[in-house]
Chain A
Amino acid sequence: MILAATTNESLAHTANVLVYSSMAVYTLAFFAHIAEWVLGSRSKVGRTAAALTGAGAKAAATVEVRTAEKEKGGGTAVLERPKVITRSAAGRRDVPDGPGAAGGSLKGDLYGRIAVSMTALGFLLEAAGVISRAMAVQRAPWGNMYEFSTTFSTVAVGTYLAFLLTKKNVRWIGLPLVTTVLLNLGIATTVLYTDSDQLVPALHSYWLWIHVSTAIFCGAVFYLGAVGTLFYLLRDVYESKIARGVAVGRAWSSVMERLPAAATLDKFSYRVNAAVFPLWTFTIIAGAIWAGDAWGRYWGWDPKEVWSFITWVAYACYLHARATAGWKGRKAATLALVAFGCWLFNYYGVNIFVTGKHSYAGV
């Protein structure tokens, strides 16, 4: 087996430089996003109020059928396509999505685009950093908390960019995401930093690749879901205030107006959370199989295992709450935030404050 001497120091150094560069670029993205929000605030947006107070025109939305119609006989009569009329469930507020941070301001939008480009560049640099770290240590780059954290934020940003690429309405995540990624990298490079090194024997396993990669991925996507949930709560409170005719401060209202509608945010976070829940289930199972190989029991109520289980049950609660009358909406959203809180505690709290068999924090 390869021993410590193979740790390639210059590659490891390159990896660190790449991570620092990505931080610099993310910082630029952060300021560009701020500019986007600030410039966008000048534009007038009052669609929520209009929709909720009935002043807005009633609009039965139609969905254009995407399938291209076949040309018929060299373009004779182009037939009227069937238009699909949609309506949401009764009792739901019908509010159009906000225009986004730039709020229709061209200059704001330009800054927004710069921010997204910078985020993409930061992502490439960070991903290169993670990969060169992996090459430097000749193993999966997930042996300690520094490595988890860098991979974690890379995946979160990557998922966000993938959503953007598939034309999902997610640009509103940009600012909070970049902010927290910077925070996360700041902590990673200072408090959690660990020099590149080999693994303890318990981590020598292909399950490391499976279990840890899915765990990191789930965490990153759960994080995006949590941001969506948080914004949903804020926006939902705002919308219900407007609907009740309660006055809302102008600055706050300007921010809220530009977000998607509460219903959209709620759907977004539900889908994201529901989509990763099976993967999270798989992650725990993979961990149990690995524990069975490494420690002779697949489940031993080790703190890390307990908190993974708690996180899992908390997300199951959230999914059940959504299917249970009286628990939809804000209550379910709160459960989703609690569940993500459990995930965070499992990551930071258990690694740092609680000792168990999973002591590989390197701090």
Chain B
Amino acid sequence: MSKTETTPAETAESAEAVKNAESADAAASAGSADETSLTPEATEARELGAAGSQLSTAPREESAVGGPSLGPIGWIRWFWRQLTSMRVALILLFMLSLAAIPGSLIPQNSVDELKVQTFQEKHGTVTPIYEKLQLFDVYSSVWFSAIYLLLFISLIGCIVPRTWQFVGQLRGRPPAAPKRLTRLPAYTTWRTTAEPEEAREAALAMLKRRRFRAHTAGDAVAAEKGYLREAGNLLFHIALIVMLVAFATGQLFKSEGGKLILEGDGFSNTLTQYDDFKSGSMYDSDDLEPFSFSLDKFVGTFERKGPQVGTAREFEAHVSYQTEAGGKERKAVIEVNEPLEVKGSKVYLIGHGYAPVLTVRDGKGKVVFKGATPLLPIDNNITSTGAIKVMDGYRDSKGKKQQLGFNAFFVPTFAGKGNGSMFSQFPELDYPVLALTGYVGSLGVDSGLPQNVYQLDTSKMKQFKDADGNKLAARLLPGETMKLPGGAGSVTFEKDIKEWATFTVSQQPGNGFALAGAIGAVLGLVGSLFIQRRRIWVRAVRGADGVTVVEMAGLGRSESAKLPEELGDLALTLNAEAPTAEEAADAAQESQENTDVSDTSTAAATTGEPVEGAEK
């Protein structure tokens, strides 16, 4: 016999206690004085010795007060039990959701560093406090990590014993019937012409047919079904651990690089070619896949009318790529939702803009610079700014080596002269205009300090002035040329305006695991929330008058309208094989009344009208 068997009276009581954790809790807190005197054996007996116990592997609640006076090991055990209790899991979960809030309201470095900078400039006083509290890096902060680490320790500490317990339950047998079946939430009885053994055999066969795990213990059949609920619940919690581990490996081993590519230009996947590159702490740059690709054409279309005029409609980057150096060239189109996948890396299309082509000549008409310079969009209509830098080859009218710099302001669709707005009216090249101001001197690129390619450092430069001494500024249409004063040369805005696109190349191992964990989590949840675990007992004994009395009762994890229905179904089926004896009506009536009398205080009426729902 399994150790789950105890005296039936105790059993029924425990079933009640388990059924009603509220009262159990009340008892626990009321008796907190003698809480410490409760020996582990007693606790175990309370936990295991009942027909209603083990319907779940949920840990028993212990009252938070009254720590042990046991010494360090006792304290550690007490602490561990607290940490792995449902109550603490609940509190940790709640804290996790609270802790996630600030990160959604305060700009985060991990999401948008530029926004963080703007915020810090605007809110000078709170910035140091926020920084101390790691509020710009909430999701990697010490306190956020502490909460989720504790939660996951708690989870593991909870899962392991529960899994063992569940395995034990699977190997054991459903607990024997409590003495008084009338105490259970669903109950039925009748007197039958069948012999007790016959009735029990019929019940056992029927329950097995219905895929209950059933066995006969003494004068009753004990059966249980719905173990998948527990399995689902364990699967779900384990899947959470898998997801976290996958998430963590992803963070440690990932790499992500950004690259701006002009139409017609190419890129090969090596560290030096990236504009910016981020990687996890365990990442090794030798892991970069040796692929390459070039941007053949970029197509962007935008809404031309209606209230959302100017909104992007379609972005397509037409590329040619090779999966390895010297490999076969293939064509592909990268769209916003459709990254290019090359081995373990994905190439995403992130943004696009324009790159006006300029030709710069010196005083003698010699071309010193010709090329497209990508400008950065500053609004949705792709009003763009940037800098054109002529590093070498230029000599001024006196023949002295100099560098040139131009601040550029570009609009793909100009509002028209005198229209008040210098900003672009539409993102496509309907009426492109380029405004330039020029500088001569040293660009400061040799100072060794990293320089922003989109900005000029004019500290060592002199701005070109026109004849009247005003700053020289020109607004050019494609094909037009701006003359630099004093025979310093000229700048031509070529008709051919190029487009560029930015790409992110990312490599993140562990995605497969994360997905598997996610699928496991959903499946586990479905099992855990939709399956009802329940027990059925059928007792058949000879009554005082020699007629067999069949009693059936059911107990579920939670009160459910489904259980009485199922019991009724089973009773009806069994009734066919153990038919009701003659004067059954009166006798059944009588026995019912008896139960009522004995339980007046607790006999309960639930409505006969089931509200069915998720719980089955």
A-B interaction: yes
A171 to chain B, nearest CB (A): 12
Residue in B closest to A9 when the chains form the complex, CB atoms: B306
Given the known interface contacts A61-B607, A80-B190, A88-B185, the answer about A200 and B94 at a Cβ–Cβ threshold of 8 Å is no
CB pair A278 B86 closer than 8 Å: no
CB pair B89 A89 closer than 8 Å: no
Q: Cβ of B585: which chain A residues have Cβ within 8 Å of it?
A: 80
Main secondary structure of the interface of A (DSSP, over half): loop
CB pair B111 A88 closer than 8 Å: no
CB pair A197 B308 closer than 8 Å: yes
**C-alpha spacing A207/B111, complex, angstroms:** 23
CB pair A85 B592 closer than 8 Å: yes
Q: Cβ of A94: which chain B residues have Cβ within 8 Å of it?
A: 604-606
Residue in A closest to B303 when the chains form the complex, CB atoms: A4
Residue in B closest to A80 when the chains form the complex, CB atoms: B585
Number of A-B contacts (CB under 8 A): 302
**A74 within 8 A of partner (CB):** no
**A249 within 8 A of partner (CB):** no
Q: Cβ of A80: which chain B residues have Cβ within 8 Å of it?
A: 190, 580, 584-585, 588
Q: Cβ of A97: which chain B residues have Cβ within 8 Å of it?
A: 607, 609
Interface stretch of the complex, out of B200-208, B223-231, B331-339, B484-492:
B331-339
**C-alpha spacing A319/B615, complex, angstroms:** 13
Question: Chain B interface: which size bin?
Answer: 35 or more
B203 to chain A, nearest CB (A): 13
Q: Cβ of B552: which chain A residues have Cβ within 8 Å of it?
A: 82
Q: Determine which of A197, A298, A323 lies in contact with B58 in the assembled complex, contact meaning CB atoms within 8 Å.
A: A323
Residue in A closest to B337 when the chains form the complex, CB atoms: A205
CB pair A91 B588 closer than 8 Å: no
**C-alpha spacing A62/B575, complex, angstroms:** 17
Q: Determine which of B20, B86, B565, B575 lies in contact with A89 in the assembled complex, contact meaning CB atoms within 8 Å.
A: B20
Given the known interface contacts A201-B313, A354-B105, the answer about A289 and B306 at a Cβ–Cβ threshold of 8 Å is no
Q: What is the 8 Å Cβ interface bit string for chain B, positions 578-616, against chain A (1 contact, 0 not)?
A: 011000110010001001100110111111111111110
Interface stretch of the complex, out of B386-394, B468-476, B514-522:
B514-522
Q: Determine which of A63, A194, A316, A356 lies in contact with B608 in the assembled complex, contact meaning CB atoms within 8 Å.
A: A63
Q: What is the 8 Å Cβ interface bit string for chain A, positions 60-71, against chain B (1 contact, 0 not)?
A: 111111110110
Chain A residues 191-226 with CB under 8 Å of chain B are 194-195, 197-202, 204-205, 207
Number of interface residues of A (CB under 8 A): 100
**A275 within 8 A of partner (CB):** yes
Q: Determine which of A296, A314, A350 lies in contact with B504 in the assembled complex, contact meaning CB atoms within 8 Å.
A: A296
Interface stretch of the complex, out of B263-271, B318-326, B454-462, B566-574:
B566-574
CB pair B104 A275 closer than 8 Å: no
**B28 within 8 A of partner (CB):** yes
Residue in B closest to A199 when the chains form the complex, CB atoms: B313
Q: Determine which of B28, B93, B568 lies in contact with A317 in the assembled complex, contact meaning CB atoms within 8 Å.
A: B93
Chain A residues 78-128 with CB under 8 Å of chain B are 79-92, 94, 96-97
Interface stretch of the complex, out of B43-51, B72-80, B95-103, B436-444:
B95-103
CB pair B605 A79 closer than 8 Å: no
Interface stretch of the complex, out of A37-45, A150-158, A173-181, A303-311:
A303-311
Q: Cβ of A92: which chain B residues have Cβ within 8 Å of it?
A: 20, 604
**A31 within 8 A of partner (CB):** no
Given the known interface contacts A67-B569, A69-B572, A324-B87, the answer about A84 and B614 at a Cβ–Cβ threshold of 8 Å is no
**C-alpha spacing A263/B568, complex, angstroms:** 23
**A1 within 8 A of partner (CB):** yes
CB pair A88 B97 closer than 8 Å: no
Contacts A278-B529, A321-B90 aside, 16 further interface pairs with beta carbons under 8 A come to: A65-B571, A84-B564, A87-B604, A91-B20, A97-B607, A200-B313, A290-B337, A301-B110, A301-B111, A306-B103, A313-B96, A313-B97, A320-B90, A327-B87, A329-B22, A335-B94
In the complex, the 10 A-B pairs of residues with the closest C-beta atoms, listed nearest first: A271-B613, A275-B614, A325-B25, A65-B568, A82-B571, A87-B604, A296-B348, A306-B104, A313-B97, A201-B336
Spell out A's residues near B (CB within 8 Å): 1, 3-4, 7, 58-67, 69-70, 79-92, 94, 96-97, 166, 168-169, 194-195, 197-202, 204-205, 207, 261, 264, 267-268, 270-272, 274-275, 277-278, 281-282, 285, 288-290, 292-303, 306-307, 309-310, 313-314, 316-317, 319-321, 323-329, 335, 342, 350, 354, 356, 362
18 contacts between A and B (CB under 8 A): A65-B565, A65-B571, A83-B188, A84-B564, A97-B607, A169-B609, A195-B307, A198-B308, A201-B335, A205-B337, A277-B529, A281-B521, A295-B348, A297-B256, A297-B508, A306-B101, A317-B93, A329-B22
